[in-house]
Structure 1
Amino acid sequence: MNTVFNHSFNSIVELRHILSVLIACACGLAIGYERKARNKQAGVKTHVIVALTSALMMILSKEAFLDTPAYDTSRVAAQIVSGISFIGGGIIFTRDKKISGITTAAGIWATAGIGMAIGANFWIFGIFCSLIVVLVQLVTHSNIRNHVIYQVKILIETNDITLPGRIYSKLGVFDFRKSNVELKEQLDNGSYDILISIENDKEISVVDVEKFLFEYDKNLKIKELKLKNYVK
């Protein structure tokens, strides 16, 4: 047991490990920034954490158990693949017969592989692969005509607990790209805060949205309304 934790300090080796983690974070930052700029599910924080953790696990699998030759170090690195598969599966989802999140999931998978490569001291190879991932994203999107997505988020207050379900059912009739109704919290006065999010390929009329809401509850209160456009 004691031999497993018998780790002597070596400043050069530790510096190499720190540099590996920093380089992995930089690569994850580059990939994540491109995803974040396109308003995807996983952005900078996710990619940086995945790259950092992958590099860390790879370093541990290589050098943490050098004093125990019988220990299978590949098991530690192998768990990275299992963990990333779990995360990637959570990003991909299907709605209205449309599948989304595949590219983002693949990007996280690639980020994990890059982090592992850098953790194994293949710095140049990891940086090169990061550049390839970013360049492929930029080139493919540059060849596609920029498409503007219109987004509106409305926070309302109502006394009707059934309102979120009724609104969500009605939104499904419209051909929006995405729509969601979320019950945020119950207030002290017994009313409820509800967040409504809509994304569409065409500009969304705030007047029409307000009219639509007041048809369901004339006494509701609009507390916050945010409009946002982004290019996909």
Structure 2
Amino acid sequence: MSDYLMTQLVFLMKLIVAGICGAVIGYERKSHLKEAGIRTHMLVAIGSALIMIISKYGFGDISTIEGFSMDPSRIAAQIVTGIGFLGAGMIFVRKQTINGLTTAAGIWATAGIGMAIGTNLYFAGVTATILVFLVQAVLQREFKWLNIPSVKQINIYIDTGADSVNEVREMLEAKLQEDKLDVIKFKAAKKESGVTEIEVYIKAPAGYRMTNLLSLFIDNPNIRMIEV
């Protein structure tokens, strides 16, 4: 077998291995209904491996020219820059909730895995794939056993009126004090059609159910709607 054909087979193997590693990570994300799935992670890994191959082997015909110098790492460095735009598209911020951050980090790690495989670091790439998969799958419960507090949000829509707002606030503060919860933010703003929105952010321990607060307002005729 000619050296040229053998070299092409090695390149092909790199792309296949990178694609498999990306598929493993993408499968875990897809199984949790995340934004990026198998295809996205495969493409990131394969693309990163391909760029590394180009960076390392793509300029052999001109690298021997006298007086010519090049830095092969410059092309590879653009992967890190480019993957940032893709990762940013995975992150969504809604009020106090951030979604997609772990998926974006996984995309970034997948690019690194593809880069490693593209430069013959197979062991490092496969090991990183296993570690990323375990981090995303096994630690999916977000360390609940550590009882880490989180920020909870509740929005209450009531009929506009000073008495109504004060009544709801007093009831809420009494319940939160009873449950030993801290109020991070309390905001009341008038909306259209005579409705006031009360927006409350609470620091709550892991496992705390916001439905515990709903019983306070069930019989209050001034409340139009509650969002938890």
Length-normalised TM-score, structure 1 = 0.57
Deviation of the 1:136 alpha carbon = 1.5
Q: 1:56 aligns with which of 27, 50, 70?
A: 50
- Structure 1 residue 138 displacement after superposition: 2.0
CA distance in 1, matches of 2:13, 2:36: 25
3-state SS of 1:68 partner: coil
Contact between 1:54 and 1:115, CA under 8 Å: does it hold in 2? yes
Structure 1: distance between partners of 2:103 and 2:51: 22
1:103-130 deviation digits (Å, cap 9, x = unpaired): 0000000000000000001111100110
Cα distance, 1:144–1:30 mapped onto 2, change above 3 Å = farther
Is 1:20–1:55's contact at 8 Å kept on the other side of the alignment? yes
Q: For residue 23 of structure 2, what is the aligned residue in structure 1?
A: 29
Displacement of 1:9 after TM fit? Answer: 6.9
For 1:188, the equivalent position in structure 2 comes to none
State how far apart, in whole Å, the 1-side matches of 2:16 and 2:125 are: 12
Q: Which residue of 1 aligns with 2:161?
A: none
- Which residue does 1:84 correspond to in 2? 83
Partner residue in 2 for 1:41: 35
Secondary structure of 1:40 counterpart: coil
Question: What do the CA deviations read for 1:19-59 (whole angstroms, capped 9, x no partner)?
Answer: 00000000000000000000000111100000000000000
Where do residues 192-211 of structure 1 align in structure 2 (5 Å cutoff)?
Answer: none
Q: Could you tell me how far apart the structure 1 residues matched to 2:144 and 2:16 are? A: 33
**Could you tell me which amino acid in structure 1 is paired with residue 22 of structure 2?**
G
CA distances 1:44-94 after superposition (whole Å, capped 9, x unpaired): 110000000000000000001023332322221111111100111111121
- SS of residue in 2 equivalent to 1:141: coil
1:15 and 2:14 are equivalent in the alignment: no
Amino acid at match of 2:76: A
Deviates more, 1:61-70 or 1:13-22: 61-70
Q: What is the SS of the residue equivalent to 2:35?
A: coil
CA change 1:144–1:15 in 2 (3 A) is farther
Mark the CA change 1:128 to 1:83 in structure 2 (over 3 Å): closer, same or farther.
same
Tell me the distance in 2 between the aligned counterparts of 1:9 and 1:82.
34
Alpha-carbon distance in structure 1 between the residues aligned to 2:135 and 2:87: 20
The within-5 A match list for 1:176-187 is: none
Distance 2:144 2:56 in 1: 43
**Number of equivalenced pairs:** 143
Identity of aligned residues (%): 49
1:105-116 alignment, distance < 5 Å: 105-116=104-115
2:61 pairs, out of 57, 63, 67, with 67
In the alignment, residue 52 of structure 2 is paired with which amino acid?
M
2: distance between equivalents of 1:118 and 1:73?
16
* 2:60 partner amino acid: L
Is residue 2:101 matched to residue 1:102?
yes
Q: Give secondary structure in 2 for the equivalent of 1:131.
A: helix
Contact 1:65/1:71 (8 A) holds in 2 = no
Q: Which runs of 5+ in 1 are unaligned?
A: 1-7, 146-172, 174-200, 203-232
Partner of 2:140: 141
Q: Aligned partners of 1:140, 1:11: CA distance in 2, in Å? A: 43
